[in-house]
Each structure stands twice: as C-alpha cells, then as structure tokens.
C-alpha cells in the first residue's frame, strides 16, 4: 500500500480512495527510463528537508543541465550543494529523508523523487530513490529558462541573507503577487515530499505578518501533501522571485480547512490551507537562472 493513514483519511473524506489507488500504481520504487532522460535536461531541482528541530524546509538547487545524473535505477546524483546560508546545508545527515521535485517550467512537466541521502561529497549528493512518479501539468506557469554565469560558476554568487520570525511588508507583497511556490511536508518517521502550487497572482492571501492562507485545487487525488499535514503540521514553503534572482523560504505549521463558507471565497478551491510562520529566510542572488515572462496555465481558476 503506497499511502499512509493521513493520505488515506483525506482520500476517504473526499471520496476518492479507489481513484487514488489507481493513480498510486504509477508510483515506482526505482528511477524509470523516461525519468532519466527528463532529469538530464534540467537546470534546477527543489529539495524538502527536515532540520534538527523537526522543522521542514524547501530549497532550490541549480546547475548546468546534466547536474542531475542517474547513477543506477536506485540512485540519483545531484551535482550541486546548497549555499551555507540555505537551511538545507545543515539538514544533510546520511540516512535522512529528502523529497525532490524536478520541474521543467517550459513544458509544464514535473517529477517527484522521494528517498534518503546515502552519500555527500565535495561535489554533490547521492540520493537513494524509494518513490518516483510524475505529476500532471496543471497550474504550472510556463517559463523559458536561460543559464547565467552565476549558475555556471556558483562560487561567483555572494548571497545576501536576511532572517526573521515574521514577514516584512515587502515580503508580504512578494507572496501576495506570487504565481508559484513549493511546499515541503513529511510523514513522521517516513519520507519527505515536495509539491508545486500555482495559480494566478493573488491566489495566496496574506492575513498578517505571521499567517498565510492558500487554496487547494483539484489534483491527482493522492493527497500526499495534505495527508502529511494531517499527521504532521510542520511544512516549509519556498517562493522563488523569478525576476529578481532571490528566494523566500518559510518554515511553520499548516492546517487544512474544510469550512465551506471560507472555501467559497477562493475561486476554484476545494479546500484551504492556513500557514503560521515560525522562521523566514530571504536570500538574494540565490537562483542563478534567468526566467522569461510567464504564460499562465489555462487551468488556473479566475
């Protein structure tokens, strides 16, 4: 059975358990052939990790295409290491669970790879794959990506990092205008997950400097993220600023909201998620890629 009790509880509440079981047959315990080719062409990957306080973080690693190399059917080699100011740099203990999301914005394609860290070298990370599966293209804003000198020479990057326990006015505006973010979640004692969330600007709402709320749209019906939240409220959010080469990483606690009146105020929402901020990390010169203007997904609720 590929699902834990939190995922099953959500599936049963929504009435899609049979459908989830069918979709779940696409979860593989190895890296399949089409995934190998997909990974080879990417310049970025998102990584979910857990720190010593059991806080979840979502981080972005970038490199020249080819930096994601499949060593064998069970091993992905990531030819990049996090910047020392990225929380991921302190969360890389051998055997720890990591959840990876490989995404190609241009083709709206994405692949999930969940596993554990088996080796760290001076050049990168070796990850043993336990679950590998694709996701649908819904809600992904298409963007063309151009490599810059920063991604080709990571040592050229001089990050400026700000840390806090609440969101500044500028950061609140950043989030309120975002069309894309990533969410890290985990099952206690089990695996970590990274998921993509997208919509038209304004689909996330900032309640105050410590609280956000965002919709959960119709998806693959497996409910990996919401299932994790049901049994473990710790999550991490990552907001890339595609224009200014910076990232905003948040860690905190999430709750799934089922109240129909509140849900009705968010177009297209099936459920809502509230997020309470515990820590904030803003990093500049953090991506090293140049992104084109977005082509918004036709699936985005309006």
Given a contact cutoff of 8 angstroms between Cβ atoms, the answer to whether 216 and 263 are in contact is: no
Q: Which of 47, 51, 118 is nearest to 90 (CA)?
A: 51
Q: Which of 128, 30, 34, 29 is nearest to 78 (CA)?
A: 128
List the CATH number of the domain containing 215: 2.30.110.10
Which residues is 104 bridged to in the sheet? Answer: 109
* pLDDT at residue 152, as a whole number: 59
Angle between helices 5-14 and 17-24 (to 10 degrees): 130
Given a contact cutoff of 8 angstroms between Cβ atoms, the answer to whether 60 and 196 are in contact is: no
What pTM did the predictor assign? 0.97
Q: How many domains does the chain have?
A: 1
* pLDDT at residue 47, as a whole number: 99
CA distances (Å), origin 229, targets 8, 245, 291? 12, 30, 31
107 located within any domain? yes
pLDDT digits (tens, 9 = 90+) for 58-98: 999 999 999 999 999 999 999 999 999 999 999 999 999 99
Which residues is 195 bridged to in the sheet? Answer: 183
Give residue 149's pLDDT band: very low, low, confident or very high (50, 70, 90).
confident
Residue 138 sits in which domain range?
A: 5-291
Interatomic CA distance for residues 113 and 78, integer angstroms: 12
301 located within any domain? no
* pLDDT at residue 77, as a whole number: 99
Given a contact cutoff of 8 angstroms between Cβ atoms, the answer to whether 37 and 69 are in contact is: no
20 located within any domain? yes
129 located within any domain? yes
297 located within any domain? no
302 located within any domain? no
Q: Taking all residues of the chain, what is their mean pLDDT, rounded to a whole number?
A: 95
Give residue 221's pLDDT band: very low, low, confident or very high (50, 70, 90).
very high
Q: What is the mean pLDDT of residues 164-192?
A: 97
* pLDDT at residue 181, as a whole number: 99
138 located within any domain? yes
30 located within any domain? yes
How far does Cα 48 stand from its chain's mean position?
A: 7
* pLDDT at residue 155, as a whole number: 53
pLDDT digits (tens, 9 = 90+) for 231-260: 999 999 999 999 999 999 999 999 999 999
pLDDT digits (tens, 9 = 90+) for 247-300: 999 999 999 999 999 999 999 999 999 999 999 999 999 999 999 999 999 999
Given a contact cutoff of 8 angstroms between Cβ atoms, the answer to whether 235 and 253 are in contact is: yes
């Amino acid at each position: 059975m590929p699902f834990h009790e939190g995922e099953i509880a959500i599936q049963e509440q929504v009435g899609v358990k049979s459908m989830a079981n069918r979709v779940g047959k696409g979860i593989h315990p190895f890296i399949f052939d089409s995934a190998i080719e997909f990974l080879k062409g990417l310049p970025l990957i998102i990584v979910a990790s857990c720190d010593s306080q059991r806080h979840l973080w979502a981080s972005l690693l970038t490199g020249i295409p080819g930096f994601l190399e499949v060593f064998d059917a069970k091993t992905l080699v990531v030819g990049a290491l996090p910047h020392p100011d990225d929380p991921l740099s302190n969360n890389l203990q051998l055997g720890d669970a990591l959840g990876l999301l490989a995404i190609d914005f241009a083709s709206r394609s994405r692949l999930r790879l969940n596993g554990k860290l088996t080796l760290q070298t001076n050049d990168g990370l070796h990850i043993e794959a336990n679950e590998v599966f694709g996701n649908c293209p819904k809600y992904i804003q298409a963007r063309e990506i151009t490599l810059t000198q920063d991604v080709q020479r990571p040592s050229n990057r001089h990050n400026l990092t700000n840390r806090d326990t609440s969101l500044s006015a500028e950061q609140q505006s950043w989030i309120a205008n975002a069309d894309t973010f990533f969410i890290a979640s985990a099952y206690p004692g089990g695996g970590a997950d990274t998921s993509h969330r997208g919509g038209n600007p304004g689909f996330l709402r900032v309640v105050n400097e410590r609280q956000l709320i965002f919709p959960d749209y119709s998806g693959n019906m497996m409910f990996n993220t919401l299932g994790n939240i049901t049994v473990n409220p710790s999550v991490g959010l990552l907001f890339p600023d595609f224009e200014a080469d910076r990232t905003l990483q948040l860690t905190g606690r999430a709750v799934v909201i089922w109240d129909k009146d509140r849900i009705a105020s968010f177009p297209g929402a099936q459920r809502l998620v509230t997020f309470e901020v515990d820590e904030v990390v803003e990093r500049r010169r953090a991506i090293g890629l140049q992104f084109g203007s977005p082509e918004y997904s036709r699936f985005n609720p309006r």
